[in-house]
Amino acid sequence: MYPKIENAERESAGLEKRRYPRQTVFKSALLYPVAREAILSVNNISENGISGSCALTLGEREQVHICFDNERFITAEVRWVNGQKCDLIVEDSLLWITGHQQVMESLFQADQRHSPRMPVSLSAKLVTSAPMFVGTVRNMSMEGMMIEAEGLREGSRLLVKCRGTETRMGRVQWSSGGMIGVFFQPPNTVAWATRR
């Protein structure tokens, strides 16, 4: 057996102490190798949309990933592009960005459209990716995962998206025998912890 995999299995069994304990799991994950990234200047948002400008050349219907807090990513599709200006549709509601229910209530009162928009001045990270592929998470902690996946080299950056966790960017720390170890930057909050 490969030494790194043996070490990971020992850690899962609790034979090694880590800052964040590992949890043995068996669930599929979508892996998005990072291709390009740039700042997205956001000038308005709605519950399911973002409008802004970005220096990257984007294509209509292209899938991108947006991060407002330097930790959690949301997936979006490019609806239209006009030069550097773009409009994105997000997979999940953006209500958490506004932070307060009162803000959303005033937004709905001021704008009678089906999906009211609110002018903002926000900066976000926009990431494009190489074609997505599927892996299987074998164990996980707040700062890392061991994933069964082929074709990723040490040092590669990727976004990992799986049920019950936030989508986060990590770096492949090791790759051996069809397994990879992904390290995430230490989280700012415990919000990433597995949700049921």
157 compared with 195, residue with greater pLDDT: 157
| 24 has pLDDT over 60 | yes
* In the chain, where the domains are located: 3-32+131-192, 36-129
Residue whose C-alpha is closest to residue 163's, from 67, 21, 26, 12: 26
CATH class of 3-32+131-192: mainly beta
| 15 has pLDDT over 80 | no
Distance CA 182, CA 166 (A): 15
Cβ-based neighbours of 183, under 8 Å, separated by 6 or more? 143, 144, 170, 171, 173
Q: Which CATH architecture has domain 36-129?
A: Beta Barrel (2.40)
| 14 has pLDDT over 70 | no
Which burial class, exposed, middle or buried, applies to 42 when counting CB atoms under 10 A from its CB (0-12, 13-18, 19+)? buried
Distance CA 139, CA 119 (A): 41
pLDDT category of residue 96 using cuts at 50, 70 and 90: low
Overall average pLDDT of the 93-121 stretch? 60
Domain 3-32+131-192 and domain 36-129 have a common topology: yes
Overall average pLDDT of the 85-94 stretch? 89
Percent of the chain with pLDDT over 70: 74
Overall average pLDDT of the 107-133 stretch? 79
| 78 has pLDDT over 50 | yes
Q: What is the DSSP letter of 167?
A: B
| 163 has pLDDT over 60 | yes
8-17, 119-128, 183-192, range with the lowest pLDDT: 8-17
pLDDT value of residue 190: 36
Query: In residues, how long is the chain?
Result: 196
Distance CA 27, CA 15 (A): 23
Overall average pLDDT of the 76-84 stretch? 97
pLDDT category of residue 166 using cuts at 50, 70 and 90: confident
